[in-house]
Structure 1
Amino acid sequence: MLRSPAKETSTSKSNTSPSRSDSDIPKLCKQSQPSHNITDNSTKGRNAKRRRASGESSADSNNLSDFKNEIKDMIKEMMCDQNSRLDTFERYIKEIKCHYTKIQDTNNTIEKSMNYMSDQLTSLEANIASLDKERKTMLLQLSSLQDKIYSLERDAIKTSIEIRNVPKQPHETKDQLFLLVQKVTKALSVDLQSTEIRDVQRHPSKKEQKTSTVTIEFCNTLTKHRLLDSVKDFNRQNSTEKLSSSTIGIDSQKTPIYIAEKLTPHEKQLFFVARKFAKANQYAYCWTSNGRVLIRKDSTSPYVVVKNESQLENMSNANSNSSK
């Protein structure tokens, strides 16, 4: 069951809060005025602080804005500088690319030229090889033709002999030359008919020379060899008084006369070189027979037919190597 609160007595009310009369109200109002002033001052202070704080914050915001603007300007400047550099770099890249393109085109042109030259060289090498082969063939043919010419020249003079160092006669005629041949055959004790002589001629020489060569062409080689053999026998039997101009009765002076078979110009040169080779390499014999040049080391060695100067060079090299 609920109970109602007890009523307060007058004594308790008087003890807890004293009573005030209407005359005390003005006093109470005057006492309460300072508290209102304090409140107003504190409010003003807070407002001033707020104003100062807002002023400081506005200054900071202005500084921050300036800083941001500076940063933006710096970034813009850096970006402009970077863009300028990039533009320059791009321009250089374009120029390099252009140069590279030109170089590449030049290299392609050079490569084409080199390929063309390589093809031309290959073709040229083939042509050179073909020409070299033809040259060797032509050299062989030329050598064969030379041998044939030399053979024809030898055949043309195979019946002829030469009488060298014969004194000249003033206003000499063919009859005098035939008479000279008869004197020579008589001195050699050779029975020779005038019909066996085909032709006689004296070789041209300088006017100041008192002697020259006389060529005699016989009708056959038998007569030629018979006369040459008789010359060898005469000089062997008369070693102190060999055949001379006085022997045949055309000059009182003893001008030596040499009789040998007629040689072609090629065989004369080869005979000259062969004599030098024989002397340098101690070959005992070097002579000619039927237009051929022969050499022999000694009486027991076989004879060698000399065909060209290269053969003598090879023989000389072989002799020098064997001596080492």
Structure 2
Amino acid sequence: MVGICGACKNNVLVTQKRIKCSTPTCAVWYHHECVNYDDTISFSRATWICPSCSVSKPKQDNSNTPIQNKTRRQQSPDNTPLPLPQLGVGNSDQSIIIQEIRNLRREMKEHFDNQQASLDKFDFKLSEVQKEVRVLGGKFSTLREDVDELTKSVQFLSDAHDTQKGSIENTATTISHLSIENQGLQSQMNELNSKLDLLEQQARDCNIELQYIPENKNENILNIVQQMAAVVSCDLPVGSILNYHRVAKIDTHSQRPRSIVLKLSSPRVRDELLAAVKRYNKKHPQEKLNTSHIGIAGEKKSIYVLEHLSLKNKKLQE
């Protein structure tokens, strides 16, 4: 507000068209419409004199200079315009001013309607955006639940993996210990097998094996052995023969007769018999020890007199 209008006595706002009297003793503000001031006319505002000051000047016509004391109200674009005061302005000028005011009001109303329509569109779009945001919020909530479930599943799998990893590490440690222990046991077993083979062979130190002597149900193995010893010129008393028997075949389908095993009284007696057989075969290369020498009729078949070796030593000999 800049002052009080000298005509309508209402406030003169900074947003309203206004003019001030140039008389130093007056300096009163007026609304343009209250004094019918036309700012389109080339007239200096600095020398403008209000109607009151113009009336007080001598030698001038005062019949057309009364100032109306009327009540002025704020107008909106929808209010009916107040009748303009007649202050020496022609009807044509007044009509032009009224028309311009109406045009201004129409433009302002159109501008207001456009703004209102834009606001309505904005409200509609905002409502749509809010709906989409709510839908997205629901989807995000569902997605968040899925992510939480996935996180729980991943955590469960991670824990299970850690547990399985720990179990595998423990199992690997146990396997490593068992492997070391197994190697130790394997070494001990090999050592025991070696000792067992040695003991087994030592247990046969007094034995002799006779191979390829035909089998007979009524055979007398003791007579066969004594007759063979006589052929090779070996003194073999009956008391030096502790045991004798035929052993089972390794291959049950073989047609080869079962071998005879003699258990003699000492390794010395065994060695003497083996040496005697060896000497005999050497002296008689064309007539080596065979079945005819021990009184077995039929086709002559060589008789082999060998050490009674363990199964492992036999395989090594082969």
Give the CA deviation at 1:243.
Answer: 0.9
Q: Larger % of helix: which?
A: 1
1:167 aligned to 2:214? yes
Unaligned runs of 5+ in 1: 1-38, 273-324
Identify the residue that residue 189 of structure 1 maps to in structure 2.
Answer: 233
Matches of 2:256 and 2:157 in 1, distance apart? 75
1:218 to 247, 250, 264: 264
1:119 to 138, 143, 166: 166
Give the CA deviation at 1:90.
Answer: 2.6
Give the CA deviation at 1:42.
Answer: 5.9
Identify the residue that residue 314 of structure 2 maps to in structure 1.
Answer: 268
Q: Which amino acid aligns with 1:213?
A: S
Deviations 1:64-95 (A, max 9, x none): 12211111111112211222232233333323
Distance verdict in 2 for CA 1:89–1:144, change over 3 Å: same
Give the CA deviation at 1:208.
Answer: 9.1
Give the CA deviation at 1:233.
Answer: 1.1
Identify the residue that residue 107 of structure 2 maps to in structure 1.
Answer: 60
Matches of 1:171 and 1:97 in 2, distance apart? 99
Q: Which amino acid aligns with 1:270?
A: L
2:281 to 222, 232, 235: 235
Give the CA deviation at 1:192.
Answer: 1.1
Distance verdict in 2 for CA 1:207–1:181, change over 3 Å: farther
Q: Which amino acid aligns with 1:127?
A: T
2:185 to 138, 142, 150: 138
Residues 99-114 of structure 1: matches in 2 within 5 Å? 99-114=146-161
Matches of 1:207 and 1:96 in 2, distance apart? 79
220-229 or 199-208, which deviates more: 199-208
Distance verdict in 2 for CA 1:210–1:72, change over 3 Å: closer
Distance verdict in 2 for CA 1:116–1:77, change over 3 Å: same
1:200 aligned to 2:241? no
3-state secondary structure, aligned to 2:145? helix
CA RMSD between the two structures: 2.4
Matches of 1:211 and 1:97 in 2, distance apart? 88
Identify the residue that residue 258 of structure 1 maps to in structure 2.
Answer: 304
Distance verdict in 2 for CA 1:151–1:86, change over 3 Å: same
1:94 aligned to 2:141? yes
Matches of 1:41 and 1:222 in 2, distance apart? 173
3-state secondary structure, aligned to 1:247? helix
- Counting aligned pairs with the same residue, the percent is 18
TM-score normalised according to structure 2 size: 0.67
Q: Which amino acid aligns with 1:86?
A: V
Give the CA deviation at 1:214.
Answer: 1.3
Give the CA deviation at 1:133.
Answer: 1.3
Are the counterparts in 2 of residues 198 and 217 from structure 1 also a CA contact under 8 Å? yes
Give the CA deviation at 1:260.
Answer: 0.2
